[in-house]
Structure 1
Amino acid sequence: MTTCRSHLKRSALVILMINSFCASSQIAHEFTYVVGCFGNGSTEVQLEFDSEEVFYVDFERKEVEYTGPDFFEGDLREIFRNMNIYRNAGRNKNACSAILAYCTTEEKHPQEERDPPESIIYTAEEIEPGVKNSLICFVNHFYPPFIKFSWTKNGHPVSEGVLTSRYYPNNDQTFHQFSTLTFIPSETDIYSCTVEHVALPRPKTRIWEPDFSHQSIEHDVFLAVALSLGMLAFAAGIFLIFKARRMNSFPGS
């Protein structure tokens, strides 16, 4: 499938997609080969298996990066070794650029469509004071696929422990991306993730503050239950002692 988006004001993008289906043990799987080229001259080529990335081509470094998925058995480099992945990607890049140039000419350079990103920030695991965790800043449904992340801790910029993924295509031809920050939760620290994108009138910032209140509530409930059980045991002991004394006071009993 070839998609020329210029008629939808998305003149900077052409996506070529080749889908292949296979079936094993009555379970259908889908391979998708994606070529995307942009008005700024960059090109993305990648292979997906059931919507999970298998590899992408890095034209700047002139190599193929194999990314998974983890359940593939064997070395992916060996599996694709004789398939001329990089050479074929170069040919597809040239074809995509030619189609993009044609679409742009046909549409007389329409204004590029822009989709502002949606963003959320959350932790990878349930937080515990002093236990290492990760903050995840997830950005979705943005176009074009160029976005900038920045992190702060208590208002100060943070770069150590930050890892940002590549951007990945959605089915609606927008993109999504992650940035993660490794940190140790503390009651006094406040973190923020800011994203910048051409479709945003100003940078968008999400704030994360630790909340350990649920843990104190659980602790209070535990204490209340423990005290209740203790009181029941105490009352039961008093009752048994009182009963034993009454029985002893009657000789015939």
Structure 2
Amino acid sequence: MVPGRVLMWGALALTAVMSACGGEDIAADHVASYGLNVYQSYGPSGYYTHEFDGDEEFYVDLEKKETVWQLPLFSKFTSFDPQGALRNIATLKHNLNIVTKRSNNTAAVNKVPEVTVFSKSPVILGQPNTLICHVDSIFPPVINITWLKNGHSVTEGFSETSFLSRNDHSFLKISYLTFLPSDDDFYDCKVEHWGLDKPLLKHWEPEIPAPMSELTETVACAQVVPLDTKGPCESHSRREGALPAYKS
């Protein structure tokens, strides 16, 4: 499926730099993207976000017209008026319409997204945990991410980030699913995107470690009897079991 529509995006980037040579060999320590906004003529109308070193600080929910902080604690120290984001999106929409009318549209090149699924913490049966579906190299930024449990659609307990920008102008999105590990359950992260011939299912099931036994002692006594002399008795200890492992 090839979209014949166009996408417009813009950003105001602030780079914090340090240089000991009066401006020579400048290297960036941190990069903040303030006001990364996208408007597209397919899928959702667009989005507006602030990022720092690739991590999202907040985004503006265009439908609810409110600012959503990645960490609610941030809102206690600063604020952002969502009306500014709405004005930016309106400007992008206006400019996009002009560009579309005055130029020949070039079909976007659909990238194949890269999908990885893993648990937030080592898996312990009966202990609440979170599954993470990490979807990278998204372009264009129109995608559908859902969860399946034992082959059936999950309807609650999940959330996802907005689109996060990458240096190559592709995007990243992460979906989270809270779950209670059981050796009878398995999960799939389902990804639908124009870069895929069919929906991609990334399978995950818990790898439960063998029960950790108590420290066992293995005692080996080697006796050597040259000239009626007994050899030393050696004691070794080991701990049986395996460490939890992630599986994607």
**TM-based fold match above 0.5:** yes
Q: Which residue of 1 aligns with 2:175?
A: 179
Cross-structure match for 1:112: 108
2:54/2:165 contact within 8 Å kept: no
Question: What secondary structure sits across from 1:76 in the alignment?
Answer: coil
Give 1 or 2 for the bigger CA radius of gyration. Answer: 1
SS at the partner of 2:82? helix
In structure 2, relative to structure 1, the CA distance for the partners of 1:155 and 1:35 (3 Å cut) is closer
Aligned twin of 1:211 = 207
Q: CA deviation at 1:204?
A: 0.2
Distance 1:37 1:23 in 2: 30
Residue 61 (structure 2) pairs with residue 58 (structure 1): yes
Partner of residue 48 from structure 1, selected from 38, 45, 51: 51
> Could you tell me how far 1:123 is from its partner in structure 2?
0.7
| Counterpart code for 2:217 | L
Counterparts of 2:200 and 2:86, CA distance in 1? 36
Question: Counterpart amino acid of 1:56?
Answer: Y
Instruction: Call closer, same or farther: CA 1:86–1:150 in 2, change over 3 Å.
Output: closer
Per-residue deviation at 1:73?
A: 8.7
Question: Structure 1 residue 69: deviation in Å?
Answer: 8.2
Distance 1:15 1:104 in 2: 14
Range with bigger deviation, 121-130 or 97-106: 97-106
- Figure out how many residues of one structure are paired with residues of the other and give that number: 211
**Secondary structure in 1 matching 2:217:** helix
Give the corresponding residue for 1:32: 33
Which one scores higher on RCO, CA 8 angstroms, separation ≥ 6?
A: 2
**For the Cα contact (< 8 Å) 1:11–1:103, is it kept in 2?**
no
Which runs of 5 or more residues in structure 1 are unaligned?
A: 1-8, 236-253
Higher helix share: 1
Taking a change above 3 Å as real, the CA distance of residues 169 and 30 of structure 1, as seen in their structure-2 partners, is: closer
Structure 2 equivalent of residue 140 of structure 1: 136
Structure 1 residue 52: Cα displacement: 2.7
Residue deviations 1:1-39 (CA, integer Å, cap 9, x gap) = xxxxxxxx9952112111224579x99544322121112
- Structure 2: how far apart are the matches of 1:153 and 1:58? 29
Structure 1, 122-131 or 95-104: larger mean CA deviation: 95-104
Aligned to 1:19: 13
**Cα contact 1:116–1:200 (8 A) shared by 2:** yes
Shift of the 115–162 alpha-carbon distance from structure 1 to 2, 3 Å rule, reads: same
Please provide the CA RMSD for this pair: 3.2
Going from structure 1 to structure 2, the CA distance change for 1:144 and 1:187 (only over 3 Å counts) comes to same
- State the partner residue of 1:195: 191
Residue 227 of structure 1, aligned match among 214, 217, 221: 217
After superposition, the C-alpha distances for 1:114-144 in whole angstroms (9 at most, x for unaligned) are 2221111111111122222111111111122
1:76 aligned to 60, 75, 78, which one? 78
Q: Distance in 1 between matches of 2:206 and 2:14?
A: 46
Give the Cα–Cα distance (whole angstroms) in 1 for the partners of residues 85 and 212 of structure 2. Answer: 58
Map 1:149-160 to 2 at 5 A: 149-160=145-156
Letter in 1 for 2:13: N
Counterpart in 1 of 2:161? 165
